[in-house]
A and B are shown apart, each in its own frame.
Chain A
């Protein structure tokens, strides 16, 4: 158990809909990251938050957004869903911020999203 908690574990929804994935980082971790794992694209970094502020953006679509709340939990919002958005979405956390060196990143078990 990594200590990173993600909900829901599985989600099935229709095209055009909007879903919210939730992540609770490990106790004491200030950074939260979101990754998408799909068969064709592999594992891709989406976005990082550090202590409530957006820190880095990767290959995140404009239809997707995220935020980190004062209690450090994070939500990833996916809207206008398409079939190609079906994937496993991982949340991860680490202690470090922008200048952390060698910080270990801990991953949750992921949220399986199926768009039908």
Chain B
């Protein structure tokens, strides 16, 4: 079945460091790809998304490019801040899954801690 694999954390960085969180996927159809973020004590928030190959999603300085050839959707940010400390989830939604684009399959999450 469809699955998402993301790098295990925790990841600890200093402020202004470069961030990469790797995400790869397995899907039988044509998935849309997402990054969600969960700040401490809060729910999940959509960070960015890409719906087809070579699309780049971006938001709040974060970017991820949908790479079909490598089945990857790595999250990057050039300069992290303390306020970026959170758990980041990579997810896919496959049109073939239940016939709806709404059903997300999540990776296990990567906890990011940014130190001042």
Rounded to whole angstroms, the CA-CA distance of A36 and B105 in the bound complex is 12
Which residues on B sit within 8 Å (CB–CB) of A58? 103
Q: For the complex, give the distance between the alpha carbons of A35 and B44 in Å.
A: 11
Cβ contacts A60-104/B at 8 Å (1 or 0 each): 000000000000000000000000000000101010111111111
Residue B70 interfacial (CB < 8 Å)? no
| Chain B binding surface SS class | loop
The answer to whether A110 and B108 have CB atoms under 8 Å apart is: no
B106 touches A105 (CB 8 A): no
Per-position binary interface string of chain B over residues 62-101, scored 1 when its CB falls under 8 Å from any chain A CB and 0 otherwise? 0000000000000000000000000001010001011111
Q: Given the complex of chains A and B, what is the CA–CA distance between A107 and B38 in angstroms? A: 10
Q: Classify chain A: how many residues form its interface, as a range.
A: 20 to 34
Whether A43 and B103, one on each chain, are in contact in the complex, defined by CB atoms closer than 8 angstroms, is: no
Binding site for B on A (CB under 8 A): 2, 4, 31, 33, 35, 42-45, 48, 50, 55-58, 90, 92, 94, 96-110
Q: Which of B46, B98, B109 contacts A105 (CB 8 A)?
A: B46
| Nearest neighbor of A45 in chain B, beta-carbon distance | B103
> Knowing that A56-B99, A56-B102, A100-B102 are A-B contacts, what are 17 other residue pairs whose CB atoms are under 8 Å apart, sorted by A's residue number?
A33-B103, A42-B106, A42-B108, A43-B89, A48-B102, A56-B97, A56-B98, A56-B103, A90-B43, A94-B102, A98-B99, A100-B100, A100-B101, A101-B95, A102-B101, A104-B46, A107-B43
A101 partner residues in chain B, CB cutoff 8 A: 32, 51, 95, 101
Once the chains are docked, how many angstroms separate the CA of A57 from the CA of B45? 23
What would 14 A/B residue contacts be, using CB atoms closer than 8 Å? A2-B43, A35-B104, A42-B107, A43-B91, A44-B106, A50-B100, A55-B98, A56-B97, A92-B44, A96-B100, A96-B101, A101-B51, A102-B49, A107-B44
